[in-house]
Every structure is written in structure tokens, then in C-alpha cells.
């Protein structure tokens, strides 16, 4: 049993990580400022965790959360390419300033390792597919830049201070608890939310952009392995399903699962948008013994089921 600190532990991916750690019998502390995270996400484990409200932009405020911690899983961030285009200052402050605070505080507290939630957006629009970690990073948006900078800081803290760090480049994670009612959420949840509210979703571009949609449980498993796998220290590792799908294909699958005919309205492509992206997951396979065990369609079914239950219990989403 070890002590884990999950920053952003009340958020979409973070709360799934917290649950998995509790299931494994670890002692779990959660740090969240509840700006996008929600205490509801932790309902199943609320009495088994140490939940602290703090903001990673506040270096002093987060200090006590790190006392006695072995592993830090750093998920706190402001997601969304679009949000970062609208408000680059806040994305920068949280994702870069906040990450630096987490690294400094982790180093000072003597934690064993920090695992950082990076992003596939690091690759930008290079032509090589699948995306392999040896490719040059080419951020196209402030969000992508913040995530690449986080990776650089992680590498630097390992080189300069001997703090073990791992950066995981998550590829378009989806699943239960992703926000159904925010323009800054992932596209699958945005479409599901619109469907349940009886609205018409917007499809930016021709729908032929490709993404590696990865079910959240797969990312959680990879993240837990990254905390302890000896060979992961100092690495940047892709975490995806290893397959690309166009948005048009995703809409078809969604219609199959929903038994409906969701027809989005088209709008011009969004600035900062990547055209095509899917992961080479060989490194994750070899270093983390990672395998994306839950397939896309099973993941989609579980996400639809959860979304419907949210709608049923609240009357809206």
C-alpha cells in the first residue's frame, strides 16, 4: 500500500483514477479546486479518501497536500483546445504555472514519482501517422503548448533534481463523467449531451478529421502502471487505442448505439484543430505492458448508458 496524491482527482479522468487506486487498497488524497471537477464524481469512494480543496496555482496552499505522499498523479488542468484559444492566459496559468508548482512541491516533499497528464495535441499536424513519440512536437494551440511545456518541465526536473517523472500523452479520452454540458468537453460527450437535450450538435469541418478515441478505463490502467513501472521514469509515452476513426464514423457508431439518427449541423473547422491523429502504442505496450482492453464500441455503450442515467436522474444534463 502506498500514498497517492491525485491532482484534479474530482475531474473526469482523475476521479476514475482515484476509484481504481482505492480498489487496489492504496491511501488516496485528492486535490481539486472544483472549477471543472465535481464532488459527485467521487461519491462512490467519498468516505475512503482524503479530499482537499486547493488550487495548483497556489504554490503555498498545495504544500500540505504533499506530506507523506509516495506518488503524484497530476491530472489537474484546464482541458480544451477551444478554451485555450479564447482564454490563453488562464490555460497557461493552470497548465504551466500549476504544473511547475506541482513539480517543485513534489520535489521538496521527496515524492517518489510524478506522472503527468500530457496530450496527443503535442504532435500537431505532422504528416506521419500513427504518431510515434520520436516525432517532433508541433503545438498548434495554446492548450497544446501548455501540455508540451509540462512535458519539458517533467523531463527537466528528472535531469536537474533527480525527481522521477513520466508524461503520458493521452489521446482523446472519453467515457462516463466527461461533461455532457460544456462546450469545452470532448466531442463524444458534447454530442451525447446535445442528443439527450433534444438539440442539434455542431460538427466543425467535414467530419473527416481523425481521432484516436480512447475509453477512460484504458487510460486509467496505463496511468497506474506508469506510477511504478521502473522503465517508465523519464519517458514520454502515448496512451491511446492505437486506431483512428473519423468523426463521421463516430457519429454512425453513436447512432447505432443510441438507435437514433443524430444529424449534426456543419460549421467551419475550428482554428487550432488538428486534422488527423492516432497513436502508435508500442512504447506503452513494452514499458507498461499496456493493452487497451475496452474496445471503442463497448466504451461507447458504457458512456451512453451513464449519460442516459444522468438524464434520467436529473431530468436534464
Positive or negative torsion for Cα 293, 223, 239, 248: positive
Is there binding between residue 211 and ligand UD1 (CB under 6 A)?
A: yes
Q: Convert residues 124-153 into a mask of x (bound to ligand UD1 by CB under 6 A) and - (unbound).
A: ------------------------------
Burial of 68 (0-12, 13-18, 19+ CB in 10 A): exposed
Considering only the stretches 1-9, 50-58, 198-206, 293-301, report the one whose residues sit in contact with ligand UD1 under the rule CB under 6 A.
198-206
Instruction: Please identify the residue of the shown chain whose CB is closest to the bound ligand UD1.
Output: 121
Is there binding between residue 171 and ligand UD1 (CB under 6 A)?
A: yes
- CA atoms of 210 and 245, how far apart (whole Å): 5
Report the residue number, 4 or 191, with the smaller CB distance to ligand UD1: 191
What is the number of alpha carbons within 13 Å of residue 17 lying toward its C-beta? 32
Q: Which of 142, 186, 193, 242 binds ligand UD1 (CB under 6 A)?
A: 186
Tell me which of 143, 170, 195, 278 is the catalytic residue: 143
Q: Which of 104, 202, 233, 257 binds ligand UD1 (CB under 6 A)?
A: 202
Is there binding between residue 226 and ligand UD1 (CB under 6 A)?
A: no
- CA atoms of 30 and 264, how far apart (whole Å): 38
Task: Indicate if 143 belongs to the active site.
Answer: yes
CA nearest to 107, candidates 166, 50, 52, 160: 160
- CA atoms of 306 and 284, how far apart (whole Å): 28
Is there binding between residue 112 and ligand UD1 (CB under 6 A)?
A: no
Estimate the crossing angle of helix 296-314 against helix 247-258, to 10 degrees: 60
Report the residue number, 13 or 28, with the smaller CB distance to ligand UD1: 13
Contacting positions for ligand UD1 (CB under 6 A) = 79-81, 119-121, 170-173, 186-187, 190, 201-204, 209, 211, 247, 270, 273-274, 277
Instruction: State the catalytic residues.
Output: 143
Amino acid at each position: 500500500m502506498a500514498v497517492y496524491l491525485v491532482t484534479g482527482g474530482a475531474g473526469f479522468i482523475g476521479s476514475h483514477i482515484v476509484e481504481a487506486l482505492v480498489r487496489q487498497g492504496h491511501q488516496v488524497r485528492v486535490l481539486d479546486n472544483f472549477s471543472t471537477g465535481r464532488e459527485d464524481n467521487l461519491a462512490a469512494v467519498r468516505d475512503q479518501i482524503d479530499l482537499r480543496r486547493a488550487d495548483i496555482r497556489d504554490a503555498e496552499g498545495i504544500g500540505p497536500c504533499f506530506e507523506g505522499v509516495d506518488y503524484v498523479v497530476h491530472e489537474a488542468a484546464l482541458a480544451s483546445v477551444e478554451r485555450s484559444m479564447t482564454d490563453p492566459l488562464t490555460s497557461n496559468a493552470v497548465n504551466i504555472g500549476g504544473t511547475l508548482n506541482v513539480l517543485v512541491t513534489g520535489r521538496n516533499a521527496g515524492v517518489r514519482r510524478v506522472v503527468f497528464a500530457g496530450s496527443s495535441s503535442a504532435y500537431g499536424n505532422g504528416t506521419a501517422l500513427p504518431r510515434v513519440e520520436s516525432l517532433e512536437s508541433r503545438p498548434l494551440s495554446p492548450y497544446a503548448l501548455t501540455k508540451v511545456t509540462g512535458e519539458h518541465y517533467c523531463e527537466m526536473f528528472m535531469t536537474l533534481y533527480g525527481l522521477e517523472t513520466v508524461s503520458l500523452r493521452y489521446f482523446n479520452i472519453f467515457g462516463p463523467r466527461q461533461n455532457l454540458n460544456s462546450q469545452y468537453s470532448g466531442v463524444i460527450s458534447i454530442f451525447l449531451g446535445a442528443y439527450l437535450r433534444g438539440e442539434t450538435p455542431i460538427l466543425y469541418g467535414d467530419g473527416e478529421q481523425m481521432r484516436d478515441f480512447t475509453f477512460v478505463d484504458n487510460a486509467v490502467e496505463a496511468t497506474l502502471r506508469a506510477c511504478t513501472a521502473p522503465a517508465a521514469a523519464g519517458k514520454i509515452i502515448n496512451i491511446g487505442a492505437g486506431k483512428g476513426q473519423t468523426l463521421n464514423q463516430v457519429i454512425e457508431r453513436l447512432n447505432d448505439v443510441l438507435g437514433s439518427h443524430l444529424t449534426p449541423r456543419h460549421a467551419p473547422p475550428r482554428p487550432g484543430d488538428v486534422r488527423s491523429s492516432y497513436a502508435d502504442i508500442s512504447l506503452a505496450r513494452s514499458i507498461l505492458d499496456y493493452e487497451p482492453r475496452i474496445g471503442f464500441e463497448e466504451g461507447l455503450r458504457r458512456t451512453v448508458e451513464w449519460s442516459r442515467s444522468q438524464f434520467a436522474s436529473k431530468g436534464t444534463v
